[in-house]
Amino acid sequence: MSTASELARSGPLPLPRICCLDLDTFFVSVERVLDPSLEGKPVVVGGRPGSRGVVTAASYEVRRLGVKSGMSLVEAGKLAPDAIYLPTRGDTYGKYAERVREIARRYSPTVVAASIDEMFLDLSGCERLYGCTGDDDGDTAIERAVIALTAAIDDELGLPSSAGLATSKVMAKVASSLAKPRG
């Protein structure tokens, strides 16, 4: 086992490479996979408009009307009376989330779920695994892996996702938020 002074003399430690993978409008996206006719339409997941409860997820189309997650369904019904309102299907969303995590595990040895629609992957040390001849540096290899990951999720499950890469979870989360949608 190395001591701290031996590690310090051996040079700088490699930077961590953390990816925050966020599934874009996850519940709405799953509903669109199950019913493609919902694509491009204003969709609210959570229940009937005007009923007790809150919006669980809102499509980008309905967000433009002011509807957002956590809002009461009464208020959402007033803002978007013509939107398509759907009940939640927790078991179905859970199965899709697990399938996404299975895909993520093909790209990283460490996948940590932060919520049903968000996870962190530690890609530190994977540069040689994903590197190609001619790459400028390890960043190029890791970026390629993350692009392949989001493409695999879209190709295999039909779900859009955004990813951010950084040296910490907080900054990776900020990067994935800036990349939305499908970034």
The catalytic site residues sit at 118
Contact between 179 and 163 under an 8 Å Cβ cutoff? The reply is yes
Residues with Cβ within 8 Å of 104's Cβ and at least 6 positions away in sequence, in order, are 21, 111, 119, 121, 149
CA distance 66 to 44: 12
> Beta-strand (E) ranges in the chain?
18-23, 43-45, 57-58, 84-86, 110-115, 118-122, 161-166
Q: Which amino acid is at 62?
A: V
Helix, strand, or coil here: 39? coil
Neighbours of 178 (CB within 10 A): 10
**Spatial distance between the Cα atoms of 148 and 99, rounded to a whole number of angstroms:** 16
Burial, 60: exposed, middle or buried (Cβ in 10 Å; 0-12, 13-18, 19+)?
A: middle
